[in-house]
């Protein structure tokens, strides 16, 4: 069998074009965002994170996050502030960790900078004690397979803000980079933090 050189060249070129199209299809698409200003906090939220009707005098805003494929529940982003230190970093991180049952709980905490602002982010998964009813009643129901990304964000010279993203594991995992991007943070450069 004789293979013509031009045939080999065409075959290689076609393969290269096919591979480049596949790689282009796999490239992440830019997420459309909308700027939201809450007091001194400026966030660039993905457009598909919808404003929630949930009203709570402790929250500045609440957003509904689209469910990942296979999840029936959507995620929720609650944003609040309680003044300059909001009770301290360690106390708030411990409170968030305590909202998950100890058995099977996984916790990772990082510290980072976004511009001149500092933040701590807790990634917690396991059985979540989800609030059921008004916060004043402190009633909860255990929900398996949940995850929380809790951010304590210190705007330099201003207040501390709390961003608490909770929901089914896959839904929240899929939004981890998007949550960081809302306030200009990236995983690169974050350091482990222990409480």
What's domain 31-192's superfamily in CATH?
Mog1/PsbP, alpha/beta/alpha sandwich (3.40.1000.10)
133 pLDDT above the threshold of 70: yes
- Record the tokens describing residue 163, joined without a space: 């961003």
Q: Looking at 5-19, 43-57, 65-79, 172-186, which range is the least confident one?
A: 5-19
Task: With cut-offs at 50, 70 and 90, classify the pLDDT of residue 145.
Answer: very high
pLDDT mean over 59-73: 96
Question: What is the per-residue pLDDT for 13?
Answer: 43
Mapping DSSP onto H, E and C, the string for 101-170 reads CCCCCEEEEEEEEECCEEEEEEEEEEEEEEECCCHHHCCEEEEEEEEEEEEEEECCCCCEEEEEEEEEHH
pLDDT mean over 150-176: 97
152 pLDDT above the threshold of 90: yes
Mean pLDDT of the chain: 87
Domain boundaries, the chain: 31-192
Cα dist from 120 to 9, 62, 79, 108, whole Å: 54, 20, 15, 11
11 pLDDT above the threshold of 70: no
Reference 121, options 86, 92, 155; nearest CA is: 92
Whether the pTM exceeds 0.95: the reply is no
CA 48 – CA 64 distance, rounded (Å) = 9
178 pLDDT above the threshold of 70: yes
């Amino acid at each position: 069998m004789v293979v013509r050189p031009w045939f080999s060249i065409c075959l290689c070129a076609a393969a290269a074009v096919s591979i480049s199209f596949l790689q282009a299809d796999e490239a992440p698409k830019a997420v459309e965002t909308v700027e939201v200003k809450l007091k001194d906090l400026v966030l660039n939220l993905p457009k598909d994170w919808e404003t929630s009707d949930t009203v709570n005098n402790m929250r500045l805003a609440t957003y509904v996050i689209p469910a990942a494929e296979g999840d029936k529940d959507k995620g929720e982003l609650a944003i609040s502030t309680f003044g300059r230190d909001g009770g301290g970093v360690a106390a708030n991180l411990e409170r968030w960790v305590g909202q998950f049952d100890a058995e099977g709980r996984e916790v990772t905490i990082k510290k980072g900078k976004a511009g001149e602002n500092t933040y701590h982010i807790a990634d917690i998964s396991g059985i979540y004690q989800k609030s059921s009813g008004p916060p004043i009643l402190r009633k909860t129901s255990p929900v398996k397979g949940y995850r929380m990304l809790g951010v304590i964000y210190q705007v330099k010279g201003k207040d501390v803000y709390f961003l608490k993203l909770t929901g089914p594991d896959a839904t929240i995992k899929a939004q981890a980079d998007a949550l960081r991007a809302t306030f200009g943070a990236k995983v690169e450069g974050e350091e482990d933090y222990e409480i």
